[in-house]
């Protein structure tokens, strides 16, 4: 049983960080903020990578990118897709985020062109990856893994987290990083940095820094802060998988 528990925990951790890698690097830093460029081949590759790692919680890079731009433009106001200032609890925030996301994804939301400009679109793939059947197949795969490994009953509590992995990541940043932590900058919203060394969220919870410098690919600003995703992005630039639009800021304050 100990071996089974260890295997499942390893699979869970791999799923956590792999799906978060694509959400942070591709959806957030590329689709929403355009911090770097990539070829059509690599854009399609990252779409597929997002699908494989996010599974049942796959997010359309297009819908995510547009929604996140709205978050920055209207942070902590009635027009913010997710704000602990507006929503009474994190479940209310998650439900409103889902509604806004679906309206953008189905392209029925009235959104200004500036919020859509340059956001990657592969709508046929999104329709396949987000279909109810596809999501249910992923859920069945997760459950089947637990069954085949003869997991103890208490480990099945991890299954809902795996099924909703992307929203879970989103709520950690968009709820807790707007309520707790510390602030380096007095911006016009409630963004905080949860951890100076953000090993949990690939740097995403250095949220106050990001709201101050929205186009900066390295979310760490102070000398004692660390964004663990940035070295990978830097390496991908050196490998010419991506290309920084501008010389990235690496100095610390």
> pLDDT, tens digit, for every residue of 47-64?
999 999 999 999 999 999
pLDDT for 249 equals 57
Query: Above pLDDT 90, what percent of the chain?
Result: 91
pLDDT for 247 equals 66
Q: Residue 63, exposed/middle/buried by CB under 10 A (0-12, 13-18, 19+)?
A: buried
CA 216 – CA 208 distance, rounded (Å): 12
Q: Of 47, 233, 61, 87, nearest to 174 (Cα)?
A: 87
What backbone torsions phi and psi does residue 66 show, to the nearest 5 degrees? -65, -45
Which residues are paired to 226 by β-bridges? Answer: 197
- Indicate if the pLDDT at residue 42 is higher than 60: yes
pTM for the structure as a whole: 0.92
What is the pLDDT of the chain when averaged over all its residues?
94
| Tokens 């760490």, residue located | 220
Hey, is 2 helix, strand or coil? Answer: helix
At 248, the pLDDT band (50, 70, 90 cuts) reads low
Asked whether the beta carbons of 215 and 68 are under 8 A apart, the reply is: no
Q: What is the CB-side half-sphere exposure of residue 160 using CA atoms within 13 A?
A: 2
pLDDT for 196 equals 96
pLDDT for 2 equals 85
CA 162 – CA 159 distance, rounded (Å): 5
Asked whether the beta carbons of 203 and 20 are under 8 A apart, the reply is: no
Task: Write down the H helix ranges in 149-206.
Answer: 158-163, 165-174
- Indicate if the pLDDT at residue 252 is higher than 60: no
> pLDDT, tens digit, for every residue of 122-161?
999 999 999 999 999 999 999 999 999 999 999 999 999 9
Task: Write down the H helix ranges in 36-89.
Answer: 40-54, 61-73
Residues 72-104: b if buried by 16+ CB within 10 A, e if exposed:
beebbeeebbbbbeebeebeebbebbeebbebb
Mean per-residue pLDDT for 227-252?
A: 85
Q: Of 172, 167, 202, 204, nearest to 58 (Cα)?
A: 167
| Tokens 């069954």, residue located | 147
pLDDT for 245 equals 84
At 25, the pLDDT band (50, 70, 90 cuts) reads very high
At 194, the pLDDT band (50, 70, 90 cuts) reads very high
């Amino acid at each position: 049983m100990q071996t089974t528990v260890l295997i499942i925990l390893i699979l869970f951790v791999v799923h956590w960080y792999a799906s978060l890698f694509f959400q942070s690097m591709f959806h957030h830093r590329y689709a929403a903020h355009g911090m770097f460029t990539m070829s059509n081949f690599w854009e399609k590759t990252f779409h597929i990578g997002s699908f494989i790692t996010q599974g049942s919680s796959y997010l359309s890079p297009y819908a995510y990118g547009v929604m996140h731009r709205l978050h920055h433009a209207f942070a902590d106001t009635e027009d913010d897709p997710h704000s602990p200032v507006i929503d009474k609890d994190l479940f209310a925030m998650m439900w409103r985020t889902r509604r806004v996301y679906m309206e953008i994804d189905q392209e029925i939301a009235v959104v200004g062109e500036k919020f859509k400009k340059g956001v990657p679109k592969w709508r046929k793939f999104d329709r396949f990856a987000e279909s109810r059947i596809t999501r249910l197949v992923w859920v069945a795969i997760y459950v089947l893994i637990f069954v085949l490994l003869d997991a103890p009953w208490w480990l099945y509590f991890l299954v809902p987290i795996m099924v909703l992995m992307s929203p879970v990541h989103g709520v950690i940043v968009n709820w807790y990083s707007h309520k707790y932590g510390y602030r380096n900058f007095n911006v016009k919203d409630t963004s905080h940095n949860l951890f100076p060394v953000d090993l949990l969220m690939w740097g995403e919870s250095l949220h106050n820094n990001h709201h101050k410098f929205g186009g900066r690919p390295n979310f760490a600003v102070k000398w004692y802060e660390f964004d663990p995703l940035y070295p990978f992005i830097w390496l991908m630039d050196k490998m010419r998988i991506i290309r920084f639009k501008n010389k990235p800021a690496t100095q610390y304050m």
